Structure 1
Amino acid sequence: MNKVIFRLTSLFAGFLFGLGMIISGMADPEKVIGFLDVAGAWDPSLAFVMGGALMVFMPAYFLLIKPKSKPVVAEEFCLAKSNKVDSRLVSGAVIFGLGWGLAGICPGPAMSSLALGNIGVWVFFASMMVGLGVTNLLICMKNSRESQTQTA
């Protein structure tokens, strides 16, 4: 029963996020590129969307989420095990930033935009899936090599 509640909560949160992206216009890559174009025709609306989101999230976080020692619908909080800055983190951040700057969309809004039928977003999504698959394959190959080296 707990897994069902967890999945339904996750589905609702994802739906709410996607709906917010579409309503705010942030699912439109042109709007995001307009925000990133600080030297040209800058569109500050993304800053207002982020500020509005923080105004809703921050009180909820400090009043409802932070005081809890355990999640409501999960066994434990899903937190990163490592807190060091390494080459994998930096290279991933650089690739993400370049992709966001070039395409004008990041993975969350891209998922929302699929329903809008923009062919560019579908190409972005397909490329993102290929990139995730290749990255997963490379990590598995690296881990396999490391485990073979340790057992030899």
Structure 2
Amino acid sequence: MNRIILQVAAALASGIVFGFGLSLSGMLNPARVQGFLDIFGAWDPSLAFVLGGAVAVAFVGVQAMKRMKHPAFDDSFHVPTNNRIDAPLVVGSALFGLGWGIGGFCPGPAIAALMIGLPETVVFVVAMLVGMTLHDRVWSKRP
């Protein structure tokens, strides 16, 4: 039971830090994200520093993970084993990029931005959940 409490507490703490970082960096503002993606217009390069910082932190985390036998609150790491670049990966990446460019959100910031209460955020999250549900129902049924 203590292990479950520690796992939940660690997940909650991670989520709070992640949400605070998204808010502080401006990733909850879809106009700012779209400004970053508009490289041929009024480009806003500030989010490049956010992305660079995220890559640096992730790099350090992966290097630390490689030296550990198992995570602090689990028996094993849950790392994807498939490293192939195939059609579903490319199509999914393109759809993700289109959604990010059109809506100005990706899933994490969209969920965090629900706290702001903007109607377009709610529409985006509902559409995202519908898309995820359709994917699970349709794609998992393929041979």
Quick check: TM above 0.5?
Answer: yes
In the superposition, the TM-score normalised over structure 1's length comes to 0.84
What is the percent sequence identity of the aligned residues? 39
How many equivalent pairs are there? Answer: 142
Is contact 1:6–1:73 with CA below 8 Å preserved after alignment? yes
Matches within 5 A, 1:64-79: 64-79=64-79
Task: Give the corresponding residue for 2:3.
Answer: 2
In the superposition, the TM-score normalised over structure 2's length comes to 0.89
User: Which segment drifts farther, 118-127 or 10-19?
Assistant: 10-19
CA distance in 2, matches of 1:53, 1:105: 16
Structure with the bigger RCO (C-alpha within 8 Å, sep 6+) is: 1
User: Unaligned stretches of 5+ in structure 2?
Assistant: none
**Cα deviation 1:50-89 (Å, max 9, x = unaligned):** 2334455544554x43321211111111111322122221
Question: Which has the larger Rg?
Answer: 1
Task: Give the corresponding residue for 1:149.
Answer: none
Is contact 1:18–1:111 with CA below 8 Å preserved after alignment? no
Task: Give the corresponding residue for 1:22.
Answer: 23
Task: Give the corresponding residue for 1:40.
Answer: 41
Is contact 1:34–1:41 with CA below 8 Å preserved after alignment? yes
Kindly state the Cα deviation for residue 104 of structure 1 after the two structures are TM-superposed. 1.1
Task: Give the corresponding residue for 1:139.
Answer: 139
**How large is the RMSD of aligned CA atoms in angstroms?**
1.7
